[in-house]
Amino acid sequence: MKSILKPLLTIAAMALGMTAVATLPARALVEINVNKGNVEPLPIAITDFQGELGAQISDIVSADLKRSGLFAPIDKGAFIEKIANPDAQPRFDDWKVINAQALVTGSVAKEADGRIRAQYRLWDTFAGQQMSGEQFFANDANQRRVAHIIADAIYERLTGEKGYFDTRVVFIDESGAKNARKKRLAIMDQDGANVRYLSDGKSIVLTPRFSPNRQEITYMSYESGQPRVYLLQIETGQRELVGNFPGMTFAPRFSPDGQKVIMSLLRDDGNSNIFAMDLRSRSTTRLTNSTAIDTSPSYSPDGSKVVFTSDRGGRAQIYVMGADGSGQTRISFGDGVYSTPVWSPRGDLVAFTKQTGGEFQIGVMKTDGSGERILSSGFQQEGPTWAPNGRVLMFFRDSAGGPKLVSVDLTGRNEQPIPTANFASDPAWSPLLE
């Protein structure tokens, strides 16, 4: 398999000196408040970066920021000042008059050694100061990554929160008729670019999830006949069965340290229990032992707890337990059926799928089950995954003949379709790339 991630390690960053003006104390121009109804997106002017590749890069930066819902890039046609030197102080009055709260300038150049040098500067037009500036070196194959890294830097500087644009999504690419669907493991950038296939579509594959710290995913495949959980090294294509259990294994996820896979194992009586497997020692630990369906386990980010689905109370609900299986407690009590709980990377929330009133909803609740908020409702949708900054969720929605990926802000605003060539399901967001 072609190496996907290795060349990315050559990206190097350095801060650009502030020009002419004093450094601003860190100040967020955008306030993110999930309890606030309508956040007005910040008007921002993103100028074409100089150089042959410049406009391509700055367009990707602009698209990232726009899709976040927190920024409103201003139409370039409204720009008054033509940026001649992206390192020189702009005429702030020209940008204030078109209500650009922030301004981005930059350049992209090819170095003698073939690498690309990309740099940007972010300006606070009303304070009349540079807010940040950095330059990055990358090889040719990483043009889009450079743009995502710049978008992350701008997002972080303006919101005070980590970005999530320099990330990937692993998902199931679906094609063909509904009763003969071909399902392939695939990976792409978070904006839908650079799709690569990781399986050939001969066997059903489902529920891929990223390792928190390696270029590795765990997923379920029918390739051996019986559905089982596997590991896949993204760079080498090397695959490995997880454990040697007699029955179906499914619903895998990594522990936050990447050393364990937690999953469901089918019992002979038809019920399913949750096990954790240590990937080094290969030892397995049983965490639940109920005559019920226990599945969809997801660790808290500190690894001390696990949230999961169980129908031990009659219908599927969400439960929390210690990572050793202790203290199993139901946390969902709303009117409906709850499943696919996923602990947020910040640790404070659990995202879920809820079925109620003939609808499927994507929502979040606090880890004690309180404070439930529904972010999206639809005829058929499920399977949320968190962006690494815990601010955006992606899930899949079935409509018009098949599933497609959708992202939504934690506020429930700003639903965005993720472009994919075919139908797509089971998205899982990567951590921020290194």
| Residues of the shown chain interacting with another protein in the complex, contacts defined by CB under 8 A | 177-179, 181, 183, 204, 206-207, 220, 225-227, 247-248, 250-251, 264, 266, 268-272, 293, 295-296, 309, 311, 315-316, 337, 339-340, 353, 355, 379-380, 382-383, 398, 425-426
Which CB atom, from 75 or from 269, has the smaller least distance to another protein? 269
Which pairs from 422-425 meet CB under 8 Å and 24+ separation? 422/173, 422/174, 422/175, 423/173, 423/174, 423/175, 423/181, 424/171, 424/172, 424/173, 424/174, 424/186, 424/396, 425/171, 425/172, 425/174, 425/383, 425/396
Sheet containing 205-210: which strands, arranged edge to edge? 205-210, 216-221, 228-233, 239-241
CA 98 to chain centre: 33
Which CB atom, from 69 or from 208, has the smaller least distance to another protein? 208
CA 283 to chain centre: 30
Q: How far is the CB of 380 from another protein (least distance, A)?
A: 7
Q: How far is the CB of 308 from another protein (least distance, A)?
A: 10
For every residue of 120-184, DSSP letters joined together read: EEEEETTTTEEEEEEEEEE-GGGHHHHHHHHHHHHHHHHHSS----S-EEEEEEEES-GGG-EEE
3-state secondary structure 166-182: CCEEEEEEEECCHHHCE
Q: How far is the CB of 331 from another protein (least distance, A)?
A: 17
Which CB atom, from 192 or from 247, has the smaller least distance to another protein? 247
Q: How far is the CB of 142 from another protein (least distance, A)?
A: 34
Q: How far is the CB of 26 from another protein (least distance, A)?
A: 41
Taking residue 327's Cβ as centre, other Cβ atoms within 10 Å add up to 10
Q: How far is the CB of 293 from another protein (least distance, A)?
A: 4
Which CB atom, from 98 or from 206, has the smaller least distance to another protein? 206
Which CB atom, from 168 or from 253, has the smaller least distance to another protein? 253
Q: How far is the CB of 311 from another protein (least distance, A)?
A: 8
Which CB atom, from 22 or from 177, has the smaller least distance to another protein? 177
Which CB atom, from 84 or from 400, has the smaller least distance to another protein? 400
H or E element at residue 272: strand 272-278
